[in-house]
Chain A
Amino acid sequence: MSTLVPAATGTGGVNGVALTVLILLFALVTGMGFWATRWRRADSMESLDEWGLGGRRFGTWVTWFLLGGDLYTAYTFVAVPAAMFALGAVSGFFAVPYTIVLYPIIFIFMARLWSVSHRHGYVTPADFVKGRYGSRGLALAVSITGILATMPYIALQLVGIQAVLEVSGVGGSNALAKDLPLFIAFALLAAYTYSSGLRAPAVIAFVKDALIYLVIIVAVIYLPSKVGGWDHVFSAAEAKMAKTSPVTGKPTGAFIPNTQQYWAYATLAFGSALALFMYPHSITATLSSSSRNTIRRNASILPAYSFVLGLLALLGWVAIAAGTKPIGLDGKPNAQLVIPQLFEDMFPSWFAGVAFAAVAIGALVPAAIMSIAAANTFTRNIYRDWIKPDATHAQEAKIGKLVSLLVKAFALVFVLTLDKQNAINFQLLGGIWILQTFPAIVFGLYTRWFHRWALLAGWAVGMVYGTITAYNVINPATKGHFGGSLDMIPTIGKMGYIGMTAFVINLVIAAVLSFVLNAMKVDAGHDETIKGDYFADAGDPRVEKNVSLDARLTTGTP
């Protein structure tokens, strides 16, 4: 069987055709972005209302595409298959149950969040927390966490763009040129968001989706047959995962989770699912749907994405069968390069270029949207609430633009200081943090029993525990900190996702302290919502007008 596989070569210099196609597609899309800005300028408010963070009226199908666009990022295309390739099912395939259980979870609480947000004009999670608990402190905690947790998620996108550039031959082996692809990726992203705001990525999102679906369909149909069928793929993966790793002295990874890994697999999946819709960018995307029940109807068709995500994850194992050698330009192996490398080895050069462009644009668009969402959170919930309540729109727009740059600069710091060999860990690190805002947001949708100070205390302990525990995970190969997202679960004694452990600790503290504070009748804060708000739908009083976020904030136009 393995004779079917051509000997895979290293990255080996510039792939002229692929690089040219990549640059051409990139230039086309960038041109479209700037054109969209100019074209829409005359009716900018309205256009943002259509797409942006504002009063969108999207039905089931458009929302389906948009959310799907949010899901298909460098996470799906680069990080998950790379984890499958390097470490196997526990580190990578958990993404499949993660994206399945995600939808019942959001089905349960998202409709309530939609209703109350539309009644009161909330567009960020922190807005809701402030209104519900009458606590600026708790809202501040939620917004800081949102911004912080978005950074490693953006970092993951930068790693994705870098991987594509590196495989297509941009960069070099000396110290200066080594990080060149990364800086190019960063500069592109920064220039892009700073000048165009949200409108450009909005227009490009459709091109991006089309390119991505094309590449996915071709990849999952063509590649497995080319390396000798799925039988061969799975046996090659099983053989590799069983081999003893020279670094750890243990098996390389998991083909199928063993009894010691059940908790890890389940907590990674469940924790990631609880975390995803706490990010500012995903909450604003769901609030944009046209009615309370759009998101629920969506929840029943979105799992189709999980199926494709699973096939993409398996491409990591296809690469094992194909004998792909992801060697970086510095001559060292780098698992993150495995999918671009597989495309380069297996596809004709021109289609490899199309695939590279799909991955790069597929990382650029979400990264732009994420950094804008984080900047919005800063401007609305920190700048306006704490620093300058009487700021003009122009000042707010300026701050928003600057913060979006700052967020990306910090994302770059994450890439440079953390171990990017296992980029999926970036997303898991973000998850550890953002998960700590879950009790305040989601439990708040159902009950006011939790006391605002108890939630704040639970959040603080969860954040500190999660960060310290994650810091202390040492990567066996590089000896670096933040080497993984699994640690021993206290009292259970098995490895599990740190985010879930921190979440449970957070919950226990919030519950115990709420009991005490409520018994002591400590001021619980003013709640501006009523029970009926959580069931409001389009057509009810105040529901229509108040969705729109300040258009100026997001476009940067004065």
Chain B
Amino acid sequence: MSIDSEVDHDTVPPANKGLLAVAGVLLALPMLALLWVSSYSRKDPVLWGFPFFIWYQFLWVFLCSAMTYTAYRLVLRARPHRPMTGTQREGHTR
């Protein structure tokens, strides 16, 4: 009898809540930054001819990418996969 067979799969697999919270913050930041329109709806400073309004949003493309990737690494570490092997009950299915 392996340990697996005693796992109740109708539970949430264990996770490092702290890491998950950090990932959550990283994912929330781009949303908050871009929804806060008044923080960037201006023309100056102009960069290579681009108004601030335009280049600031382009900048967030890269920041968002970096933050999402970091969140991805964190989530992988925070909740290792719990294989659904063993003779667990198959849900509420009839």
Measuring CB to CB, which residues of chain A are less than 8 angstroms from any residue of chain B? 89, 93, 96-97, 100-101, 103-105, 107-108, 229-231, 233-234, 255-259, 261-262, 265-266, 269-270, 293, 296-297, 299-301, 303-304, 306-307, 310, 314, 526-537, 539-541
Known: A265-B41, A532-B11. 13 other contacts (CB 8 A): A100-B34, A101-B35, A101-B64, A107-B68, A107-B72, A262-B38, A266-B36, A300-B69, A307-B58, A314-B54, A533-B9, A534-B12, A535-B82
- With a cutoff of 8 Å between Cβ atoms, the chain B residues found around residue A233 in the complex are 49
From B70, which residue of chain A is reached at the shortest CB distance? A300
State which of A101, A526, A537 has its C-beta within 8 Å of the C-beta of B81. A537
Q: Per-position contact with A for B29-60: 1 when CB-CB < 8 Å, else 0?
A: 01100111110011100001111011001101
* B68 lies within 8 A of A231 (CB): no
B27 within 8 Å of A by Cβ? yes
* B83 lies within 8 A of A299 (CB): no
Least Cβ distance of B86 to chain A in Å? Answer: 9
- With a cutoff of 8 Å between Cβ atoms, the chain A residues found around residue B67 in the complex are 104
* B58 lies within 8 A of A310 (CB): yes
Q: How far is the CA of A258 from the CA of B53 in the complex (A)?
A: 12
- With a cutoff of 8 Å between Cβ atoms, the chain A residues found around residue B43 in the complex are 255-256
- With a cutoff of 8 Å between Cβ atoms, the chain B residues found around residue A105 in the complex are 31
* A530 lies within 8 A of B91 (CB): yes
Check A300/B13 contact, CB under 8 A, given A104-B30, A270-B31, A540-B83: no
State which of B41, B54, B93 has its C-beta within 8 Å of the C-beta of A528. B93
B22 within 8 Å of A by Cβ? no
* A293 lies within 8 A of B72 (CB): yes
* B41 lies within 8 A of A257 (CB): yes
* B10 lies within 8 A of A259 (CB): no
* B37 lies within 8 A of A101 (CB): no
* B37 lies within 8 A of A234 (CB): no
B28 within 8 Å of A by Cβ? yes
From A534, which residue of chain B is reached at the shortest CB distance? B12
Q: Chain B interface residue count: which class? A: 35 or more
* B12 lies within 8 A of A535 (CB): yes
* B12 lies within 8 A of A103 (CB): no
Q: How far is the CA of A105 from the CA of B61 in the complex (A)?
A: 14
- With a cutoff of 8 Å between Cβ atoms, the chain A residues found around residue B11 in the complex are 531-532
B16 within 8 Å of A by Cβ? no
Q: How far is the CA of A307 from the CA of B50 in the complex (A)?
A: 14
Least Cβ distance of A503 to chain B in Å? Answer: 15
Q: How far is the CA of A89 from the CA of B61 in the complex (A)?
A: 17
* A307 lies within 8 A of B61 (CB): yes
Check A97/B34 contact, CB under 8 A, given A104-B27, A310-B57, A535-B79: yes
Which of B43, B84, B85 has most chain A Cβ within 10 Å? B84
Least Cβ distance of B68 to chain A in Å? Answer: 4
From B79, which residue of chain A is reached at the shortest CB distance? A535
* A256 lies within 8 A of B42 (CB): yes
State which of A259, A531, A537 has its C-beta within 8 Å of the C-beta of B38. A259
Q: How far is the CA of A299 from the CA of B30 in the complex (A)?
A: 13
Q: How far is the CA of A261 from the CA of B83 in the complex (A)?
A: 49
* B30 lies within 8 A of A532 (CB): no
- With a cutoff of 8 Å between Cβ atoms, the chain A residues found around residue B37 in the complex are 257, 261-262, 265-266
Check A100/B61 contact, CB under 8 A, given A256-B53, A293-B72, A532-B9: yes
- With a cutoff of 8 Å between Cβ atoms, the chain B residues found around residue A261 in the complex are 37
- With a cutoff of 8 Å between Cβ atoms, the chain B residues found around residue A527 in the complex are 92
* A536 lies within 8 A of B84 (CB): yes
- With a cutoff of 8 Å between Cβ atoms, the chain A residues found around residue B9 in the complex are 530-533
- With a cutoff of 8 Å between Cβ atoms, the chain B residues found around residue A257 in the complex are 37, 41, 53
- With a cutoff of 8 Å between Cβ atoms, the chain B residues found around residue A269 in the complex are 34-35
- With a cutoff of 8 Å between Cβ atoms, the chain B residues found around residue A300 in the complex are 65-66, 68-69, 71-72
* A541 lies within 8 A of B84 (CB): yes
From A299, which residue of chain B is reached at the shortest CB distance? B68
State which of A266, A304, A314 has its C-beta within 8 Å of the C-beta of B35. A266
B76 within 8 Å of A by Cβ? yes
- With a cutoff of 8 Å between Cβ atoms, the chain A residues found around residue B31 in the complex are 101, 104-105, 270
* B81 lies within 8 A of A310 (CB): no
- Can you report 15 A-B residue pairs in the complex whose CB atoms are below 8 A from each other? A100-B61, A100-B64, A103-B68, A104-B71, A107-B72, A234-B49, A257-B53, A269-B35, A299-B68, A300-B66, A303-B64, A532-B13, A535-B82, A540-B83, A541-B85
* B91 lies within 8 A of A533 (CB): yes
* B84 lies within 8 A of A303 (CB): no
* B35 lies within 8 A of A303 (CB): no
